[in-house]
Amino acid sequence: MACSPADLPLMADMSTNSIERLAAAVGLRSGSHAAADVVRLAAYARIASQWAKRHRLEGREDEAGRFYALKNAALRKLSRTGFAQVSVLRALPRDEVLLCPAHQAIYAADAAASRGATGDPLPEGQWLLWNRGLIDDCPDCQIYPVGDYNDLYDIQVRVERLRFGFHLPLREGEGFLPPPDYLPDRQERPGRGTRPGRFRFGSAISPRDARRFPAALVAARIEALTCT
Ligand SMILES: [Zn+2]
């Protein structure tokens, strides 16, 4: 594939493309081409990920693979800029646990106490994380390990007040991101209504965004922005 900045396609719809407008505004405010390109690349990477998902859902596995590769090329480049922070997101344990009556009572008391403070009951997964040692040592609690903890690379790109977050399974990112052992850990924050240890992966591109950001345009932009 030819790869030089001159390959940047000239687009008639440039002025109506919200990603280009956003990036141009950042470039003007900060006086930094690099910052503007980071915004472009992060925004197109997000769209590429949504295109990959759409292709996969509709059975176009080759195209899905191509767009996941584009997204990864973008993440590789973004991760090497000063705008990105890469860490490892440790999933909450989601082993199936049957608490003994004594520990069930302790959990219930802790959950009730935390509800008083925040209004939300303490998620079971969070409690297990904090008390895992107790449960492991208890002869009466039963643990059925699930094994797959779904640890992820977490890439946070920040430019001014803009923030782009990406998650990537470890085995997918290991080829181009630093080894997990060299990165800081973050703990998954259990959200309301989400089950511990489960992640919501990106969604497919909406019909509206598919018209605004055609697949060919997204591919061309990422190729141009990642070639140097
Ligand atoms: Zn117990």
CA of 212 to the centre of ligand 1 (A): 55
Six-digit token string for 100: 């003994």
Lowest mean pLDDT among 39-43, 85-89, 146-150: 146-150
Are 154 and 76 in a shared domain?
Answer: yes
Supply the range of the domain harboring residue 132. 96-144
CA of 134 to the centre of ligand 1 (A): 7
CA of 67 to the centre of ligand 1 (A): 48
pLDDT tens readout for residues 8-30: 444 444 445 889 999 999 999 99
What residue has token string 């919501």?
200
pLDDT (average), residues 27-41:
95
CA of 92 to the centre of ligand 1 (A): 19
Are 185 and 113 in a shared domain?
Answer: no
Are 75 and 107 in a shared domain?
Answer: no
| pLDDT of the residue at 205 | 87
User: How many distinct structural domains can be found in the chain?
Assistant: 2
Are 106 and 35 in a shared domain?
Answer: no
| pLDDT of the residue at 198 | 43
Are 100 and 87 in a shared domain?
Answer: no
| pLDDT of the residue at 34 | 95
CA dist., res. 63 & res. 137, Å (int): 49
Are 49 and 36 in a shared domain?
Answer: yes
Q: Give pTM, 2 decimals.
A: 0.68
What is the pLDDT of the chain when averaged over all its residues? 82
CA of 136 to the centre of ligand 1 (A): 8
Are 49 and 16 in a shared domain?
Answer: yes
Are 153 and 190 in a shared domain?
Answer: yes
Are 78 and 170 in a shared domain?
Answer: yes
In eight-state DSSP terms, residue 15 is G
CA dist., res. 100 & res. 140, Å (int): 5
Are 181 and 138 in a shared domain?
Answer: no
Q: Which of 39, 71, 74 is nearest to 162 (CA)?
A: 39
pLDDT tens readout for residues 193-204: 344 444 445 678
| Dihedral-angle region of residue 119 (phi above 0 means left; psi in -120 to 50 means alpha; beta otherwise) | left
Where among 129, 144, 159 does a domain terminate?
A: 144
CA of 227 to the centre of ligand 1 (A): 56
Distance of CA 101 to the CA centre of its chain: 38
Are 115 and 129 in a shared domain?
Answer: yes
Are 49 and 116 in a shared domain?
Answer: no
| pLDDT of the residue at 193 | 39
pLDDT tens readout for residues 90-122: 776 556 777 888 998 898 888 888 766 566 667
pLDDT tens readout for residues 151-170: 789 999 999 999 999 988 88
CA of 108 to the centre of ligand 1 (A): 13
